């Protein structure tokens, strides 16, 4: 049996409202397990199967595949992805063949991205002068069915061969995701697993709401927490000697916000 999800988690996974998930449950369009009185759980793989076999109407999805001639959910590739027209106010990724559409980031999200990337750029300029640091939007194709746009990424000088004019083709050395309320679960669970399988050595999660930075590193094919901290904490990473992040500046938020 696969992983069991709540109605809220199914709604987040499919970009649907919880009310729509409950409607599909009543209409028996998606399989459900009843654990007790009014306690339901959904098997992820079974729900995705219902999606790809057409039991969930395409018109209920936030991404309208049928009207634009897209692939079915679960079957998206990089080739399908590049055919998607720009939609103001939204960003797209493909995770395990699923097309994900999210709102553009907030001003504070971008403030955190800029503050952190500026400090990282200064560090890597000395630590690895041949490497390059980038910020979103920039596509990374990890497989044909996984196209991601991390907020910050670093490619060491020894991996420059993965750089293409229009994208990064393969795993880079470091990816950083700055979480938003709409993507916390995706970044902490789904993308972490995708990055792990791709063999990305370093994955950092930044939470502007909690003012925390968690730095995971790959060890024995698993991500382990190397260091975590917030404003005022020391950030001493074993793989990046000399990196002294000022997290007070990273998480600075003006009084007017």
In DSSP terms, 207 is beta-bridged to 212
**Residue 57 pLDDT > 70:** no
**pTM of the entire predicted model:** 0.72
Residue of higher predicted confidence among 99 and 25:
99
The pLDDT value recorded for residue 70 is 52
Question: How far apart, in whole angstroms, are the C-alpha atoms of residue 234 and residue 229?
Answer: 7
**Residue 116 pLDDT > 70:** yes
pLDDT, tens only, 135-144: 999 999 999 9
Nearest residue to 113 via CA among 177, 204, 190, 191: 177
pLDDT, tens only, 193-232: 999 999 999 999 999 999 999 999 999 999 999 999 999 9
Residue of higher predicted confidence among 115 and 58:
115
- CATH for 107-250, among 3.40.50.150, 3.30.300.30, 3.40.50.2000, 3.90.1570.10? 3.90.1570.10
Q: How many residues does the chain have?
A: 257
Close Cβ partners of 244 (under 8 Å, ≥ 6 residues apart): 235
Question: How far apart, in whole angstroms, are the C-alpha atoms of residue 229 and residue 233?
Answer: 5
CATH code linked to domain 1-56: 1.10.10
Identify the helix (H) or strand (E) that includes residue 152: strand 152-155
Question: How far apart, in whole angstroms, are the C-alpha atoms of residue 225 and residue 217?
Answer: 6
Question: How far apart, in whole angstroms, are the C-alpha atoms of residue 95 and residue 186?
Answer: 10
* Summary mean pLDDT of the chain: 86
Q: Read off the pLDDT of each residue in 229-238 and give the average, rounded to a whole number.
A: 92
Q: Read off the pLDDT of each residue in 27-39 and give the average, rounded to a whole number.
A: 75
Question: How far apart, in whole angstroms, are the C-alpha atoms of residue 112 and residue 8?
Answer: 28
Residue of higher predicted confidence among 54 and 41:
41
The residues of the chain that CATH labels 1.10.10 are 1-56
The pLDDT value recorded for residue 4 is 80
Identify the helix (H) or strand (E) that includes residue 66: helix 65-68
**Residue 162 pLDDT > 90:** yes
The residues of the chain that CATH labels 3.90.1570.10 are 107-250
**Residue 121 pLDDT > 90:** yes
Among 3-7, 179-183, 193-197, where is mean pLDDT lowest? Answer: 3-7
């Amino acid at each position: 049996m696969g992983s069991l999800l709540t109605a809220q988690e199914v709604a987040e996974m499919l970009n649907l409202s919880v009310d729509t998930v409950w409607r599909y449950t009543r209409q028996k369009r998606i399989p459900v397990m009843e654990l007790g009185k009014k306690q339901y759980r959904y098997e992820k793989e079974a729900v995705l199967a219902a999606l790809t076999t057409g039991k969930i109407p395409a018109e209920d999805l936030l991404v309208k595949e049928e009207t634009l001639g897209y692939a079915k959910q679960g079957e998206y590739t990089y080739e399908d992805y590049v055919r998607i027209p720009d939609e103001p106010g939204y960003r797209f990724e493909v995770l395990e063949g699923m097309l994900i559409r999210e709102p553009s980031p907030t001003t504070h999200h971008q403030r955190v991205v800029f503050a952190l990337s500026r400090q990282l750029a200064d560090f890597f300029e000395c630590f690895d002068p041949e490497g390059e640091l980038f910020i979103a939007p920039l596509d990374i194709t990890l497989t044909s069915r996984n196209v991601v746009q991390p907020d910050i990424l670093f490619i060491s000088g020894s991996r420059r061969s993965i750089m293409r004019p229009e994208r990064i083709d393969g795993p880079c050395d470091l990816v950083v995701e700055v979480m938003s309320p709409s993507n916390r679960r995706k970044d902490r669970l789904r993308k972490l697993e995708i990055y792990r399988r791709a063999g990305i050595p370093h994955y950092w999660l930044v939470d502007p709401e909690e003012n925390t930075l968690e730095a995971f590193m790959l060890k024995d094919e698993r991500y382990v927490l190397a260091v975590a901290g917030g404003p005022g904490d020391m950030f001493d990473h074993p793989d990046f000697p000399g990196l002294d992040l000022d997290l007070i500046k990273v998480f600075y938020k003006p009084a007017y916000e």
